[in-house]
Amino acid sequence: MTNPLLAEFIGTAMILLLGGGVNASVTLFGSYSKGGGWLMVCMGWSLGVTLAIYAAGAASGAHLNPAVTIAFALREAFPWDQVPGYIFAQLAGAFTGSTLMFLQFLPHWGKTEDKAAKLGIFSTAPAIPNTIGNLISEIIGTFVLVIGLLFLGTNTFTDGLNPLVVGALILAIGLSLGGTTGFAINPARDLGPRLAHALLPIPGKGDSNWSYSWIPVVGPILGAVMAVVVFNLIS
């Protein structure tokens, strides 16, 4: 694959198909893995990111996240004129991956009555609603992600190992910091699926909670900017 925008689209779609898929697996009635728990969710997302990096890395650098793209641009490691295209590809990929996940579990939606649980398969929500606290959680989680990626860039890994290390970073964030808001740490990961939830004919769905939707967009961007500032001070 030599088209970086297509690579970002496919990689982000893969993350949401597999990440949304594990959410659906532990949530929807009739799934063999219903009730699998938080460890299973975090493992599913981290492995999804790992595989997506393997798929997209050679062609696009595997940003797969608008916050990461903005951070690399701030570091002058990525051209600003390519930022809008990357972000659009990431959002479109997230929407597409979520749509494929919906189709994968097609018979299960109508068997599950909990509207909030159905939304939670697509997008994040706070365990305890608190605007400031939820925003801080997303800022801190993304700060750890981006500064971790920047530090990883200062190390040399055996060929093919880097995606596994990034996957481990995602797993650590999910296990340690993700229980407050569901660790979006990626505006595309939340906004694309939330739009899919709003548009898809999901039986018995509720609203898409747009009043919360700005937090998993603004929080990750702020966290990414802060990570670049701190990294520049110490590197």
User: How many Å apart are CA 100 and CA 23, to the nearest integer?
Assistant: 13
Q: What domain range is 144 assigned to?
A: 4-234
**The token pair that represents 76 in the structure block:** 């002058």
Identify the CATH number of the domain in which residue 59 sits. 1.20.1080.10
User: How many Å apart are CA 91 and CA 191, to the nearest integer?
Assistant: 7
Contact 77, 168 (CB under 8 A): no
**The token pair that represents 5 in the structure block:** 């925008």
Q: What's the maximum distance between 2 C-alpha atoms anywhere in the chain?
A: 53
Task: Name the domain count of the chain.
Answer: 1
What's the confidence (pLDDT) of residue 235?
Answer: 82
Phi and psi at 221, nearest 5°, equal -65, -45
- What residues contact residue 43 under an 8 Å CB cut-off, 6+ apart? 22, 171
- For tokens 């939340």, the residue is 190
**The token pair that represents 137 in the structure block:** 């959680």
Which of these, 88, 70, 75, lies nearest to 5 by C-alpha position? 88
Residue ranges of the chain whose pLDDT lies below 70: 1, 156-159
User: How many Å apart are CA 222 and CA 71, to the nearest integer?
Assistant: 10
Stated length of the chain? 235
User: How many Å apart are CA 90 and CA 195, to the nearest integer?
Assistant: 13
Which of these, 188, 155, 222, lies nearest to 12 by C-alpha position? 188
**The token pair that represents 144 in the structure block:** 């750890």
- pTM, 2 dp: 0.95
